[in-house]
């Protein structure tokens, strides 16, 4: 119980150097690449999942928005696999770091904003001022809408970081409570263990949902600007 709760969120090092780059590359190495004329079941399942994701994300996009299909598919697969690998014991979850999530959110958001300025500048600027706004309120509303625009990538990153961090902390606390009850109160240990198993199942679902929500919001920003 004396273990630091945030120890699992500390960036691991290898020979004194941060090992984040190797951990980030690990999920991409786990996906099989088809090398046969007839795919096996795992590759067929992977292709079916990618097609399903593409259908859901690109349904409302035009041709310009559909050019982002590879980017969005890679994004949801990376976040989802990274979140799931972070649930393994003694592992590190890169998506629990706000810096990494900001590094994903800011460039993607900036890309959608640049597309909006290039393709729909009038419509993009019109979003900063709702129709029918009284003249005295125009400066204040423009400032508020501008702030809300620039806060979008921060909201993306903070949402993902908070959900992953909160789930890992809760699992850590319940796991410590289970190990403590084994020595102090054996009848109470099965209850906390069942709670830990249920929470782990919930975290598997949260890991996939957060990957989908992050990618869906980027897709919505893209749809509004193309």
Per-residue pLDDT of the chain (226 residues; tens, 9 = 90+): 445 555 555 666 666 666 666 666 766 666 666 666 666 777 777 778 878 888 877 777 777 777 888 888 888 888 888 888 878 777 777 888 888 889 889 999 998 888 888 887 777 777 777 777 777 877 888 888 888 888 989 999 999 998 988 888 888 888 878 878 777 777 777 888 888 888 888 888 988 899 889 998 988 888 888 7
Q: Which of 91, 55, 71 is nearest to 214 (CA)?
A: 71
Q: Helix, strand, coil % (nearest 5) of the chain? A: 75, 0, 25
Residue 2: inside a domain, yes or no?
no
Give the per-residue pLDDT at 47. Answer: 77
- Phi, psi (5° rounding) for residue 18? -60, 135
Residue 45: inside a domain, yes or no?
yes
Classify each residue of 6-28 as buried b or exposed e, where b means 16 or more C-beta atoms within 10 Å of its C-beta.
Answer: eebbeeeeeeeeeebeebeeebe
Residue 104: inside a domain, yes or no?
yes
Residue 1: inside a domain, yes or no?
no
Residue 78: inside a domain, yes or no?
yes
Q: Are 86 and 96 in contact (CB under 8 A)?
A: yes
Per the structure, the complete domain to which residue 161 belongs is given by 9-225
- List of long-range contacts for 68-73, beta carbons under 8 Å, 24+ apart: 68/219, 68/222, 71/108, 72/215, 72/218, 72/219, 72/222
- Phi, psi (5° rounding) for residue 132? 80, 15
Q: Which of 160, 153, 23, 171 is nearest to 89 (CA)?
A: 171
Number of domains in the chain: 1
Give the per-residue pLDDT at 2. Answer: 47
Question: CA 20 → CA 12, 97, 99, distances in Å?
Answer: 7, 11, 12
Tell me the two tokens of residue 105. Answer: 């959110």
Q: Which helix (H) or strand (E) holds 189?
A: helix 189-224
Give the per-residue pLDDT at 1. Answer: 45
Tell me the two tokens of residue 100. Answer: 């990494």
Q: How far apart are CA 205 and CA 44, in angstroms?
A: 23
Give the per-residue pLDDT at 85. Answer: 82
Q: Which of 128, 151, 117 is nearest to 226 (CA)?
A: 117
Give the per-residue pLDDT at 6. Answer: 58
Using a cut of 0.85, tell me whether the model's pTM lies above it.
no
Residue 4: inside a domain, yes or no?
no
Q: CA 110, 113, 116: angle at the middle one, nearest 5?
A: 155
Residue 183: inside a domain, yes or no?
yes
Beta bridge pairs of residue 13: 18
Residue 3: inside a domain, yes or no?
no
Tell me the two tokens of residue 207. Answer: 């890991």
């Amino acid at each position: 119980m004396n273990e630091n709760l945030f120890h699992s969120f500390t960036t691991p090092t290898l020979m004194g150097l941060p090992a984040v780059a190797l951990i980030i590359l690990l999920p991409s190495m786990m996906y099989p690449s088809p090398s046969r004329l007839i795919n096996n079941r795992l590759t067929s399942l992977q292709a079916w999942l990618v097609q399903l994701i593409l259908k859901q994300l690109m349904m409302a996009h035009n041709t310009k928005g559909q050019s982002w299909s590879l980017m969005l598919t890679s994004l949801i697969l990376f976040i989802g696999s990274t979140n799931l690998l972070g649930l393994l014991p003694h592992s590190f979850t890169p998506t629990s770091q706000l810096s990494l999530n900001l590094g994903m959110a800011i460039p993607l958001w900036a890309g959608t904003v640049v597309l909006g300025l290039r393709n729909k500048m009038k419509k993009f600027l019109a979003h900063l001022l709702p129709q029918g706004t009284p003249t005295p309120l125009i400066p204040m509303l423009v400032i508020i809408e501008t702030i809300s625009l620039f806060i979008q990538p921060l909201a993306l990153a903070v949402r993902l970081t908070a959900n992953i961090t909160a789930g890992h902390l809760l699992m850590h606390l319940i796991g410590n409570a289970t190990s403590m009850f084994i020595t102090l109160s054996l009848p109470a240990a099965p209850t906390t263990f069942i709670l830990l198993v249920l929470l782990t199942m919930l975290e598997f679902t949260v890991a996939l949902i957060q990957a989908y929500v992050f990618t869906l919001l980027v897709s919505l920003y893209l749809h509004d600007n193309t």
